[in-house]
Amino acid sequence: MNRMDLLYVIPESERNPEGLRKCFDGRPEIRFVSLTGVDLGGNDTDEKIPVKHFLKHIDQYLSGGVQTDGSSVVLPKIATLNDGKVDLVADSGVRWYVDYNYENLDPVSGLPVGTLRIPSFLKHRDRLVDSRAILKRTVESIGKRLASLLAEYPDAVRHAAIAPSSIRRFEVLAATELEFWVRTPGAIVETEKLSVSQVLQESYWKRTKGAVRTALERSLELLERYNLGPEMGHKEVGGVKATMSGAGGFDGIMEQLEVDWKYAEALQAADNELLARIMIKETFRRLGLEVTYMAKPMEGVAGSGEHTHVSIMAVLDDGSRRNLFTPADMGRDYLSPLGWGALMGLLKNYEVVGPFVSASNDAFNRLKPGFEAPVCIVASVGDDLKLPSRNRTVLVGLVRDCDDPFATRLEVRSPNPHTNTYLALAAFYQAMCDGMVWAAQSGRSSRELQHDFFKRCGDPHPYLEKGRAYRSEENVFEHFSAEQRDELFGRPPATVWEAMQNLKLYPDKVKVLQTDDVFSEPVLRSYNEAVLKIWTAELSERIVPENARTVNACVRLHNENRLDARRWEKIRELKEELARDDIDRVSIFTRIRSAVQAGDFAAASDLQLQMADKMKELQELYRLYRRNIEP
């Protein structure tokens, strides 16, 4: 047997004790089993159960799962010190796969040692409380609600010649586009060079070379073996040209890439995204390259997004599928009534959806005006029916193809590679279903709903908010001032604290998430606790110390002239305001640490924004100061 004969995916028919025994028989390279759950922090569990032990207790493992200490997973206020027992329960409804360690060869076969990874749920007190379970409940809820809705309001799909009684089930679909930065370990490239390269578009869709090309090709081949259906890999907007090393290879690599693969049903799509991130990062590492999935690894340069596509299909009794978002006549309408409802629901409720998409300092570093990152709650559908939306400044874009009714979908541009895709998809679909219910109950046609969606700020509406506009085909950062954007589309949160406060400020919208107990009250409390704990720890113990090192690196230089001396005086003032306490003044750094320690998160949030502004001013001023002395 050679590597081409390795088993990568367990067939659906063999996700049971008898089937697994057959899979393991004659495959000594598969040495371990791991039940993989995903907690509310988006962390996936991993453990190594020897196959021999697993087979001996296989019925227990597949039915009862693995017991774990709640302290090892992010489930605060659910798994507590005095009630911490959490079980890992195997999910037989999704793809199981074998993860190979190419650096550890089996002595019998000479093949890489494999670990069977079984996607699982986390169960506490007989209730599933993890990210995967929340998305699973969402999909089940959507199916039940749509079936009931269309039975009562059949006109909502009659335009597509669908009889609600002929619908066997609904497919809740999703797909993600993964962007990431790759570099030679230790490589340092000046931000200015990266910024200039970005403006000149020197990297976008250019040919990959050397180890980057090899790693990208191997990644796509590997995703193919795992049945993800890779569609494309290419260079993104960020990056600079690498330098040739003495050995004929490349050094100083700093490039941004994107990899896309085929859509799948929501839970499988989220599992696929997790698998792809692991496999891509490991493939590049084996070739001596470092991958980061940070949303904003460098200030002043394009961050990495993970645009997420969502749609819903009806599967009919005859096996055919119909896209619920596609209008009867694509030459006449942008969307079906249910499609307009989904778009309305997503935007109307986005204040409480956002906390499950952008919940980290890194995420908010990316969400800044001017970097093609969505800040405003607004959508683009295209200037007209023949010109699809290509507006990269909006939160949601309508994707459609007049020749392909299955292609109609919504592209949400706010997620990043570290977004918890399970929770984000669950929140998207809960919000979308709320709008779909309203649209069906309203009895409005596609054209009438289009008119509703195109409403101006100040126009009253029975579902959408009076003081909001929801559509723009303009570059919202150039066409509108910051004040106009806030007035038209709402003021977006600027910190993790502000985002999480929306779960308190909009109780009616939170109820949309809680429909059918998808986002239960205990889950919301746990998630809020987890996010704020990470935010405050990172703010006081990582961001402030990193900024302090930057402040200390701003030192006075020799050979100043009068302009330099004036600039240095301003630099000194900023350094002291940020980092140095005095008898009559407490520095911003100290005030942040004190606010976090006192639990005054509102003050910590405000101070974080002040710190960011002052740091930006300091770094720009020091750059000018140094350039004038050391050109």
Indicate whether 171 belongs to any domain: yes
| Residue 254 backbone phi and psi in degrees, to 5 | -150, 95
pLDDT at residue 202, as a whole number: 52
Indicate whether 41 belongs to any domain: yes
Domain containing 580 equals 532-629
At 360, which CATH number?
A: 3.30.590.10
Cβ(53)–Cβ(71) below 8 Å: no
CA angle, 180 then 355 then 268, to 5°: 60
Could you tell me which of 303, 508, 493 has the C-alpha nearest to residue 416? 303
Mean pLDDT of 86-110: 94
User: In sequence order, what are the residues at sequence separation of 6 or more whose Cβ sits closer than 8 angstroms to the Cβ of residue 188?
Assistant: none
pLDDT tens profile 581-603: 999 999 999 999 999 999 999 99
Q: Are residues 239 and 254 in the same domain?
A: yes
Cβ(116)–Cβ(30) below 8 Å: yes
Structure tokens at 185: 């370990």
Indicate whether 527 belongs to any domain: no
pLDDT tens profile 238-280: 555 654 444 444 446 789 999 999 999 999 999 999 999 999 9
Q: CA–CA separation, 17 vs 57, rounded Å? A: 10
The DSSP H or E segment spanning 276 is helix 266-286
Cβ(95)–Cβ(54) below 8 Å: no
Residue 389 DSSP SS3: coil
Could you tell me which of 389, 395, 360 has the C-alpha nearest to residue 376? 395
Beta bridge partners of 265: 173
pLDDT tens profile 499-545: 999 999 999 999 999 999 999 999 999 999 999 999 999 999 999 99
pLDDT above 90 (res 624) = yes
pLDDT at residue 369, as a whole number: 77
> What is the DSSP pairing of strand 396-399 with strand 379-380?
parallel
Indicate whether 357 belongs to any domain: yes
Q: What is the dihedral of CA 501, 504, 505, 506, to 10 degrees?
A: 120
At 329, the amino acid letter reads: D
Indicate whether 590 belongs to any domain: yes
User: In sequence order, what are the residues at sequence separation of 6 or more whose Cβ sits closer than 8 angstroms to the Cβ of residue 408?
Assistant: 311, 323, 325, 326, 335, 339, 398, 399, 400, 401
As a whole number of Å, the CA-based R_g of the chain is 26
Q: How confident is the model at residue 81 (pLDDT cuts 50, 70, 90)?
A: confident
Cβ(526)–Cβ(534) below 8 Å: no
Number of domains comprising the chain: 3
Q: How confident is the model at residue 80 (pLDDT cuts 50, 70, 90)?
A: confident
Regarding predicted confidence, which is higher, 207 or 590? Answer: 590
Q: Are residues 178 and 314 in the same domain?
A: yes
pLDDT at residue 205, as a whole number: 59
Q: Are residues 570 and 479 in the same domain?
A: no
Mean pLDDT (the chain) is 92
Q: Are residues 164 and 27 in the same domain?
A: no
Q: Are residues 88 and 158 in the same domain?
A: no
Indicate whether 347 belongs to any domain: yes
Q: Are residues 502 and 568 in the same domain?
A: no
pLDDT tens profile 177-202: 999 999 887 655 555 554 444 444 55
> What whole-number percentage of the chain has pLDDT above 90?
81
pLDDT above 70 (res 440) = yes
pLDDT at residue 247, as a whole number: 47
Domain endpoint, select from 480, 497, 519: 519
Q: Are residues 10 and 118 in the same domain?
A: yes
Q: CA–CA separation, 79 vs 74, rounded Å? A: 8
In this structure, the number of other CB atoms found within 10 A of the CB of residue 416 comes to 26
pLDDT at residue 198, as a whole number: 46
Could you tell me which of 44, 123, 174, 135 has the C-alpha nearest to residue 422? 135
Q: Are residues 274 and 202 in the same domain?
A: yes
Indicate whether 139 belongs to any domain: yes
pLDDT above 60 (res 153) = yes
pLDDT at residue 187, as a whole number: 55
At 528, the amino acid letter reads: N
Lowest mean pLDDT among 56-60, 74-78, 206-210, 450-454: 206-210
Cβ(426)–Cβ(308) below 8 Å: no
Domain endpoint, select from 519, 546, 573: 519
pLDDT at residue 465, as a whole number: 98
Q: Are residues 399 and 354 in the same domain?
A: yes
Three-state SS letters, 163-231:
CHHHEEEEEEEEEEEEEEEEECCCCCCCHHHHHHHHHCCCCCCCCCCHHHHHHHHHHHHHHHHCCCCEE
Domain endpoint, select from 110, 127, 144: 127
Indicate whether 525 belongs to any domain: no
Mean pLDDT of 224-244: 79
| Helix, strand, coil fractions of the chain, as percent rounded to 5 | 45, 20, 35
To the question of pTM greater than 0.75 for the whole model, the response is yes
User: In sequence order, what are the residues at sequence separation of 6 or more whose Cβ sits closer than 8 angstroms to the Cβ of residue 25?
Assistant: none
Q: Are residues 78 and 22 in the same domain?
A: yes
Q: Are residues 400 and 490 in the same domain?
A: yes
pLDDT above 90 (res 68) = no
At 71, which CATH number?
A: 3.10.20.70
Q: Are residues 322 and 350 in the same domain?
A: yes
